[in-house]
Amino acid sequence: MQSTHLTNSEGAQLLIEVRDLEVRFATQTVLRGINLAIPSGQTVALIGESGCGKTVLLKSLIGLIKPYQGATFFAGQNLANMPEKQLMAQRRRFGFLFQNAALFDSMTVGQNVAFPLRQARSHVPEAIHQVVLSKLAEVGLPDEVISKKPVELSGGMRKRVGLARALASNPEVLLYDEPTTGLDPIVSDVINELILRTRKHHTATSVVVTHDMRTARKVADRVVMIFPLERLADDEPQIIFDGTPAELERSQDRRVSQFVRGEAGERLMEMRENL
């Protein structure tokens, strides 16, 4: 099995590495030439406009989407070359909060949160119940929700249950796909706080896909911005910014500053031309 470097240029231990990643769906190329190295313990915000490939990149990190070219490495091992059973074991080291929580409709909240623990076979049934209660408490949900079905919960509560499920097995890596999308500002802030608290208590490596700049500023150590391929020339890199949140604010790149300030810019001109 192919192995990668375990440290970056600053000597930090790398947990995730993406090399020359290209992802295609049928004839459409979504990601091209993506290189990204994430050291252990870092929180990275992946930002960019809708449809630029942030979620595709996030899913590639856990091997849900297979690369057309290039590779994704986790703890030095290429996910594409891993046998199925080893890949399943590696995935248990991740926690994934999906955009709409992706809770299992047929199960109760308690069964949803317990699912990764049952999969890992790391706890006896009595201990699983205690872990479920503690994780629900950690995300600010009362014990009563344990027997409810996901359809009985509000959007914010579903996100919290999704977060509790992602945290249940104390994963080394947490992947968040647009954790605050579709939520009101107050619940969004609650989710941001939960992400920060998780980072503090679990010392996990996190990747947060978002187009909410408040989330990016609040939770990230590092911000990576991706640009849609159809707006780039063939020789331009798809990652147009990689730095700290403070550097993001000072960026001179017009594409970055427009996104940060939420300005449509030339998109408005395009709309007028099309009218």
Partner 1 sequence: MGDALFDMVADWGQLIVEAATNVGHLALFSWNALSWLVSRVPQRDTLLSSFYQIGVRSLPVVALTGTFIGMVLAVQSYYQFSDLGLETRLGAVINMSLVRELGPVLAATMLAGRVGSAMAAELGTMRVTEQIDALTCMGANPIYFLVVPRVLACVILIPSLTIMADFMGVVGGMAYSVYVLNIDQFHYWQNAKDFVSSWDLFYGVLKSVFFGAAIALVSCHRGFCCGVGAEGVGRAATAAFVISFVLILMLDLTVGITLDTVHNYFWPKGTRVF
242's enclosing H/E stretch is strand 239-243
Least Å distance, CB 84 to partner 1, is 7
Least Å distance, CB 114 to partner 1, is 11
Least Å distance, CB 92 to partner 1, is 4
Residue 38 CA to residue 196 CA, distance in Å, equals 18
Nearer to partner 1, 25 or 137 (CB): 25
Nearer to partner 1, 12 or 87 (CB): 87
155's enclosing H/E stretch is helix 155-167
Residue 126 touching partner 1 (CB under 8 A):
no
Q: Which residues contact 200 (CB under 8 A, 6 or more apart)?
A: none
Q: Identify the residue among 105, 126, 230, 273 touching partner 1 (CB under 8 A).
A: 105
Binding piece for partner 1, criterion CB under 8 A, among 2-10, 101-109, 190-198, 264-272 = 101-109
146-154 long-range contacts, CB within 8 A, separation 24+: 146/108, 146/109, 146/110, 147/108, 147/109, 147/110, 148/108, 148/109, 149/105, 149/107, 149/108, 149/109, 150/101, 150/103, 150/104, 150/105, 150/107, 150/109, 150/112, 151/105, 153/109
**Unique residue bearing structure tokens 């891993």:** 82
**Unique residue bearing structure tokens 């290209």:** 22
Give the single-character DSSP code of 92: T
Distance, first Cα to last Cα, the chain: 55
Q: Which residues contact 151 (CB under 8 A, 6 or more apart)?
A: 105
Least Å distance, CB 156 to partner 1, is 17
- Interior angle at CA 39, CA 34 and CA 44, nearest 5: 65
Binding piece for partner 1, criterion CB under 8 A, among 4-12, 94-102, 211-219, 256-264 = 94-102
User: Which 142-201 positions form the footprint of partner 1 (CB under 8 A)?
Assistant: none
Binding piece for partner 1, criterion CB under 8 A, among 3-11, 90-98, 124-132, 152-160 = 90-98
Residue 96 touching partner 1 (CB under 8 A):
yes
Nearer to partner 1, 174 or 223 (CB): 174
Site pattern 27..66 for partner 1 (x: CB under 8 A): --------------------------------x--x-x--
- 16: β partners: 38, 74
Q: Are 221 and 204 in contact (CB under 8 A)?
A: no
Nearer to partner 1, 105 or 144 (CB): 105
Q: Identify the residue among 48, 110, 116, 179 touching partner 1 (CB under 8 A).
A: 116
Residue 100 touching partner 1 (CB under 8 A):
yes
Query: Which residues contribute to the site for partner 1 (CB under 8 A)?
Result: 59, 62, 64, 84, 88-89, 91-92, 94, 96, 98-100, 102-106, 115-116, 119-120
